[in-house]
């Protein structure tokens, strides 16, 4: 059978299997296999040279059965309708796994922010909010940062929404600067969540984090924070990569030095001569492998060559379903993306809660609450996988989709 590399259809396949295992009928799958809403918008932006360029944007809302939808907005040349739909479904699963009162949402604009000025990015960000304003808001759908978007872009979007709403609405969006109602610890939350599940997974495999050999593919926001956290815990980060290549040192890389040298897009390998390929990086002999870059990196082609004991997905969809089967059969513990990278949405939820009550927590409190959520969620998924004798991905989908299915049933939708 040909391997399914389409994120949307492969997500649908696992959701279908999870609902079957939970005993739901075809009607529930029909409801949850596509987002409830998908808005496609055209955004005219006056460019610095005086011309007008029209950008295409999307906002998908997978399900609001449990509560408002929640999910990031990415600015990327490869954004597509299918990708946004798949990612909104993943957000539903993530929110279900960490037990948040949200459904999944996702947005994106087809653009290359690396080729745009600050002024152009601001006009695009504000134009997007105006275009989707009817379907978003603190009680409807709450955006957040994603690929190539950051706290500054969130600030512009919040300001635009507040102007339209005619009062300050910090709860409209998360991932904001602290001074505008952001939460302490939000910028590092995804990597903190991944670090917590790596520690939990290591316990299950009797691996001591101190001295453990770790390979991280990707050196962007999640990957670089993660490399720092792992090296601070005493692990040996023996390999990292960015879009241009990878670095390997069996004795451990100097992470602080690399963080110091990288540019704002997480690029650092161009400064070195003896680099290896991303493919070689994935197949290095190590204890823990963390794909933190892009989708479809571990496939049926290379899954047999993976030498890690534990694979933790910090990126979205880095392992195909075929590869998941191969890794599980080989006894490798695979911690799926919908669980591993749920730290970001968890602290986004904390930010929204703080905005709603107008009272803000210290970083220790945020970390404590995040730690509890991630440990409980890992345990729930791991227990489901072992008692039902299934892989961790299917177990995570079962835990993740259960809340939305139950809420849809109680509402009388199915």
* Residues identified as active-site: 106
CA–CA dist 139, 250 (Å, integer): 50
Q: Is 222 annotated as a binding residue?
A: yes
Instruction: State yes or no: 94 annotated in a binding site.
Output: yes
219 annotated binding-site participant:
yes
Confirm whether residue 182 is marked as ligand binding. Answer: no
Rounded Cα distance between 248 and 283, Å, is 11
For residue 348, say whether it is annotated as part of any ligand binding site.
yes
DSSP string, 131-166: HHGGG-BTTTEEEEE-TT--HHHHHHHHHHHHHHHT
Structure tokens given for 282: 């994935």
The CA distance from 346 to 339, in Å, is 11
114 is in an annotated binding site: no
Distance separating alpha carbons of residues 252 and 210, to the nearest angstrom: 12
Of 299, 358, 347, 355, nearest to 327 by C-alpha is 299
Among residues 253, 250, 334, the alpha carbon closest in space to that of 286 is found at 250
Q: For the chain, what is the largest distance between any 2 Cα atoms, rounded to a whole number of angstroms?
A: 63
278 is in an annotated binding site: yes
SS3 of 10, please? helix
- Confirm or deny that 231 is annotated as ligand binding: no
Was 264 annotated as part of a binding site? yes
| 225 assigned to a ligand binding site | no
Q: Is 243 annotated as a binding residue?
A: yes
Eight-state DSSP code of residue 113:
G
**221 marked ligand binding residue:** yes
Say whether 6 counts as a known binding-site residue: no
* CA-closest candidate to residue 359, choices 368, 350, 370, 367: 350
> Residue 319 gets which letter from DSSP?
B
Known binding-site residue numbers for NAD(+): 74, 145-146, 190, 219-223, 242-243, 264, 266, 278, 293, 316
Known binding-site residue numbers: 70, 74, 94, 145-146, 190, 219-223, 242-243, 264, 266, 278, 293, 316, 348
Known binding-site residue numbers for substrate: 70, 94, 348
């Amino acid at each position: 059978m040909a391997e399914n590399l389409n994120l949307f259809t492969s997500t649908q396949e696992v959701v279908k299997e999870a609902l079957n295992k939970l005993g739901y009928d075809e009607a529930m799958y029909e409801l949850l296999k596509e987002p409830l809403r998908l808005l496609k918008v055209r955004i005219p932006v006056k460019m610095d040279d005086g011309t007008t360029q029209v950008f295409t944007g999307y906002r998908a809302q997978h399900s609001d059965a449990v509560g408002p939808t929640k999910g990031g907005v990415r600015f990327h040349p490869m954004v597509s309708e299918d990708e946004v739909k798949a990612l909104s479904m993943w957000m539903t699963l993530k929110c279900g796994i960490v037990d948040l009162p949200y459904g999944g949402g996702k947005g994106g604009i087809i653009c290359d922010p690396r080729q745009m000025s600050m002024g152009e990015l601001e006009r695009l960000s504000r134009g997007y909010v105006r275009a989707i304003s009817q379907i978003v808001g603190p009680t409807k759908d709450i955006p957040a940062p994603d690929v190539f978007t950051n706290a500054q872009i969130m600030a512009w979007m919040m300001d635009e929404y507040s102007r339209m709403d005619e009062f300050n609405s910090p709860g409209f969006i998360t991932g904001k600067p602290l001074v505008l109602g952001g939460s302490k610890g939000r910028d590092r939350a995804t990597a903190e969540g991944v670090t917590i599940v790596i520690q939990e997974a290591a316990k299950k495999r009797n691996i001591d984090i101190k001295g453990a050999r770790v390979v991280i593919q990707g050196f962007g926001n999640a990957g670089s924070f993660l490399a720092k956290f792992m090296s601070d815990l005493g692990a040996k980060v023996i390999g990292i990569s960015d879009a241009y290549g990878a670095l390997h040192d069996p004795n451990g890389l100097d992470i602080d030095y690399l963080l110091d040298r990288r540019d704002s897009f997480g690029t650092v390998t161009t400064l070195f001569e003896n680099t290896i390929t991303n493919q070689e990086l994935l197949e290095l002999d190590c204890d823990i492998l963390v794909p933190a870059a892009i989708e479809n990196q571990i496939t049926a082609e290379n899954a047999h060559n993976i030498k890690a004991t534990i694979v933790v997905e910090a990126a979205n969809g880095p392992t195909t379903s075929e590869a998941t089967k191969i890794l599980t059969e080989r006894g490798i513990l695979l911690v799926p993306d919908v669980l591993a990278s749920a730290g970001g949405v968890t602290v986004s939820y904390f930010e929204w809660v703080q905005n709603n009550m107008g009272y803000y927590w210290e970083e220790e409190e945020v970390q404590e609450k995040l730690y509890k959520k991630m440990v409980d969620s890992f345990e729930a998924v791991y227990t489901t996988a072992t008692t039902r004798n299934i892989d961790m991905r299917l177990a995570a989908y079962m835990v993740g989709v259960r809340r939305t299915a139950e809420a849809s049933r109680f509402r009388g939708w199915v």
